[in-house]
Structure 1
Amino acid sequence: MEHVDVAIVGGGPAGASAAERAAAHDAEVVLFEQGVPREDRDGPGPDSTDAAGMLDYWIDIMDFDYEEIPDDVILQELEGTEFIGPESSVELATTGIDARYPKFGYTFNRTRMDDWLHERAADAGADLRVGIGVSDLETDLRASSANGPTHTLSLSDGSQLEAQYVVLADGPQRRITLDALDQFTAPGRSVSDYLSPPEANHIAYQEYREFPEELFDDDWLTFWWGYMPGETAYPWVFPNDGTVARVGLTMPIGMRLEDVDNPGSYKLLEPTDDGLPSGSEYITRLLEHEYGDEYDVETDFPLVEDRGKSKGTETYPISSTRPIESPVGANIAVAGGAMGTTSAFHEGGYHVAVRSGKIAGRLAATDSLENYNDRWKNAIGDEILRNVAFADIVKDYEPDDWDWAFDVVTDMQRGGGDNVLISKRYSAGLDATRIVAAYKRRKFTYRDGRYVQLTENDYLY
């Protein structure tokens, strides 16, 4: 049987970053990625589906110098974002967090970014096996190895491999992670109780559309809140290259029309609906609502079919749970979306996936994986704390609540605050105090890493 120091399951941003860091620290590393086809990639690769916007401080979280990111990764530099509610809107031109990148952020080519991370890992000496998936993982807690437990990975080609350390980076679908971690849970319990996709996660859908040149805004992101029902459910438009934009949305998995208390208050629902619209129907309705008076949507906003996973479209899951710690005593680290670090609130989590993967790879290669849970919380804990606090605040928002919140933000900006969600300067009266107090309460609730829902001590070895 083949033996390696570090085996990595999944070739997305977390897995590729873990492979690069482990190989750079002289470990023998193999990465397994089952591979999926895309219209914009020759041959199979990681599941490169994401809205793919990068805020300024996210680059610092990834621990990259922005100047080292290849030019062909970046599509459009951004000046800000607009949040549109049913009757109100607000523009934000700063994240409110210090960052080295000089702009608000940028949109990027997710496929090219993933490929660049693979190139970095290969250059560092990692063995990248794209097209070979992992079908099973078994851990021997009583292994005689000097460095503790070992793992046997069963592969899709029928072979097996033994590894000292494993980094699970198989994304929010967690094809291997759930069963692998269930080896260490109490009888009758499962990690899926904490990371259950049907109950706690979101599904996203997006289309690549060509926009009329006069409508194309190449340096602003646009989000519509309160237009469709569901916790952190919203559509967006992200500028791409040329006059191509990604028009997409995120919504909870399994939500039904009968779960909506007041369907008539949502602009993208219609009285004749007998169920919630599909992702493609939602997008058509959004474009019709915004531009249908002057344009023919299907003619003037055509699909760009040489992009995405299938003819200009793609569907992908987003893990919207709070994160879990890893069973490091079993020589396993979980990174990126598999551990629950992504968020439907801000549409994804590429930056935290990269950083958690880097930490996992380095620690596995240096026989110090026992420090992983502390290290990732030190590196990305503030970002996760913001995300879970914000998501809690808006969890039950309905259309009128979004209008109220955007009006408050506008008042706060007039009072000198540069960003309601992050700035420490607040001066807009009782409504602003209400938002700030709610945010601080939730941050306090999740202080000292209490946003973690499954701790290292919950695992049984």
Structure 2
Amino acid sequence: MERVEVAVVGGGPAGATAAERAAAHGAETVLFEQGVPREDREGLGPDSTDAAGMLDYWIDIMDFDYAEIPDDVVLQELEGTEFVGPNSAVELTTTGMDASYPKFGYTFHRARMDDWLYERATDAGADLRVGTGVSDLETDLRSSSPKGPTHTLTLSNGDQIEAQYVILADGPQRRITLEALDQFTPPGRSIADALSPPTANHIAYQEYREFPEELFDPDWLKFWWGYMPGETAYPWVFPNDGTVARVGLTMPIGMELDDVDNPASYALLDSSDERLPSGSEYITRLLEHEFGDEYDIESDMPIVEDRGKSTGTETYPISSTRPIDSPVGANIAVAGGAMGTTSAFHEGGYHVAVRTGKIAGRLAATDSLEHYNDLWKRAIGDEILRNVAFADIVADYEPGDWDRAFDIVTDMQGGSGENVLLNRTYGAGIAASKLLVSYKKRKFTYRNGTYVQFDAGDYHY
């Protein structure tokens, strides 16, 4: 049987950076990625589906110098973002966070970014096996290895491989992670209780659309809140290259029209609806709502069919839950979306996937994996804390609530032109104070890493 020091399951940003760091620190490392086809990539690769926007401080969370990211990865440098409510809107031109990147952020070509991470991993000496998935993982807790438990991975071709350390980075679908971790859960509990994809994920859908030049804004992201029902459900437009933009949305899985308290209040629902619209129907309705008076959507904003996963469209899951700790005592680390660190609230989490992957890979290669749960919290804990606090606040928002929130943020900005996120102290009236107090209370609730759903101490070895 083939043996390696570090095996990485999954080849997204968490897996690729884990493989790169492990190999760079001298470990014999292999990465398994089942691979999917895309219109904009030759051959198989990771499931590179994401709206792919990067805020300024996210680059620092990834622990990259922005100057080292290849030019062809960056599509548009951004000046800000606009949040649109049913009757109110607000613009932000800074995240309010200290960052080395000089602009608000940028949109990027996700497949090219992933391929760049693969090049780095290969150059470091990692063995990347794209097109080979993992079908099963078994851990030997009583291994005779002086470094503790070992693992046997059964591959999709029937071969087996033994690894001293395993990094699970199989994304929010968690095809291997759930059963692999359930080897160590106590009776009556399951990792699926926290991370089952149908309940722990949102589904996202996007289309690549060619915009009329006069409508294409290369400098701004745009989000619509309160236009469609569902916790953290919203559409967006992200500028790409040329005049192509990604028009997409995220929404809960399995939501029904009967679950909506007031369907008539949502701009993208119709009184004749017998069920909630599909992703493609939502996108058509959004474009009709915004531009239909002057443009024929299908002819003036056509889908660009040589983009994305399939003829200019793609559907993909986003984790929408809180993270878990890893069973490091079993020589296993979970990274990225598989552990629940990505977020439907802010549309993905490429940056936290990269950082957790880097930490896991380095620690596995240096026989220090027992520190992983502490170190990932230190590196990305504040980001997770912000996300879960904001998500809690808006969980039950209806359209009118978004209007009120945007009005409050507008008042917070005042006349100074300085736009900020809710991470500072404001003096903008009672409504603003209530919102800030609510945010701080939720952050306090999740202090000291208590946002973790399944603690390291909950595993049984």
Partner residue, 2:215 = 215
Give a deviation string over 1:143-178, Cα, whole Å, max 9, x none: 000100000000011100000000000000000000
Partner residue, 1:403 = 403
CA contact (8 A) 1:82 1:89 kept: yes
* Equivalent-residue separation in structure 2 for 1:421 and 1:324 (angstroms): 26
Structure 1 residues 303 and 47: CA distance shift in structure 2, 3 A: same
**SS at 1:194 equivalent:** helix
**SS at 1:362 equivalent:** helix
CA contact (8 A) 1:9 1:170 kept: yes
The amino acid that maps onto 2:70 is P
- How do 1:135-174 residues align onto structure 2 when only pairs under 5 Å count? 135-174=135-174
Q: Choose 220-229 or 189-198, whichever is displaced more.
A: 189-198
Partner residue, 1:80 = 80
CA deviation after TM superposition for structure 1 residue 42, in Å = 0.4
Partner residue, 1:55 = 55
* Equivalent-residue separation in structure 1 for 2:417 and 2:138 (angstroms): 53
CA contact (8 A) 1:415 1:428 kept: no
* Equivalent-residue separation in structure 1 for 2:198 and 2:349 (angstroms): 20
The amino acid that maps onto 2:118 is H
The amino acid that maps onto 1:326 is S
CA contact (8 A) 1:417 1:426 kept: no
Partner residue, 1:369 = 369
CA deviation after TM superposition for structure 1 residue 122, in Å = 0.1
* Equivalent-residue separation in structure 2 for 1:289 and 1:450 (angstroms): 42
CA contact (8 A) 1:324 1:452 kept: yes
CA deviation after TM superposition for structure 1 residue 189, in Å = 1.8
The amino acid that maps onto 2:89 is S
- How do 1:287-306 residues align onto structure 2 when only pairs under 5 Å count? 287-306=287-306
Q: Which runs of 5+ in 2 are unaligned?
A: none
Give a deviation string over 1:37-56, Cα, whole Å, max 9, x none: 00000001000000000000
* Equivalent-residue separation in structure 2 for 1:425 and 1:417 (angstroms): 16
Partner residue, 2:322 = 322
Q: Choose 183-192 or 65-74, whichever is displaced more.
A: 183-192
* Equivalent-residue separation in structure 1 for 2:139 and 2:207 (angstroms): 41
Equivalent residues, number: 461
Structure 1 residues 372 and 417: CA distance shift in structure 2, 3 A: farther
- How do 1:88-167 residues align onto structure 2 when only pairs under 5 Å count? 88-167=88-167
**SS at 1:135 equivalent:** strand
* Equivalent-residue separation in structure 2 for 1:295 and 1:67 (angstroms): 40
CA deviation after TM superposition for structure 1 residue 415, in Å = 6.1
- How do 1:219-298 residues align onto structure 2 when only pairs under 5 Å count? 219-298=219-298
Identical positions, percent: 82
Give a deviation string over 1:408-451, Cα, whole Å, max 9, x none: 11011006584453342411110000110000000000000010
CA contact (8 A) 1:417 1:423 kept: no
**SS at 1:232 equivalent:** coil
* Equivalent-residue separation in structure 1 for 2:148 and 2:421 (angstroms): 44
Partner residue, 1:331 = 331
CA contact (8 A) 1:95 1:422 kept: no
* Equivalent-residue separation in structure 2 for 1:184 and 1:421 (angstroms): 40
Cα RMSD (Å): 0.8
Structure 1 residues 289 and 202: CA distance shift in structure 2, 3 A: same
* Equivalent-residue separation in structure 1 for 2:273 and 2:431 (angstroms): 35
Partner residue, 1:445 = 445
Structure 1 residues 418 and 447: CA distance shift in structure 2, 3 A: farther
* Equivalent-residue separation in structure 1 for 2:403 and 2:69 (angstroms): 38
The amino acid that maps onto 2:288 is E
* Equivalent-residue separation in structure 2 for 1:2 and 1:192 (angstroms): 31
CA contact (8 A) 1:303 1:312 kept: yes
* Equivalent-residue separation in structure 2 for 1:399 and 1:49 (angstroms): 28
* Equivalent-residue separation in structure 1 for 2:427 and 2:420 (angstroms): 10
Structure 1 residues 41 and 32: CA distance shift in structure 2, 3 A: same
**SS at 2:42 equivalent:** coil
* Equivalent-residue separation in structure 1 for 2:250 and 2:156 (angstroms): 32
Length-normalised TM-score, structure 1: 0.99
* Equivalent-residue separation in structure 1 for 2:415 and 2:325 (angstroms): 41
Give a deviation string over 1:91-127, Cα, whole Å, max 9, x none: 0000000100000000000000000000000000000
CA contact (8 A) 2:6 2:167 kept: yes
CA contact (8 A) 1:416 1:425 kept: no
* 1:19 has 2:19 as partner: yes
The amino acid that maps onto 1:341 is T
* Equivalent-residue separation in structure 2 for 1:133 and 1:151 (angstroms): 16
**SS at 2:37 equivalent:** coil
The amino acid that maps onto 2:405 is A
CA deviation after TM superposition for structure 1 residue 29, in Å = 0.0
CA deviation after TM superposition for structure 1 residue 187, in Å = 2.0
CA deviation after TM superposition for structure 1 residue 196, in Å = 1.9
The amino acid that maps onto 1:68 is E
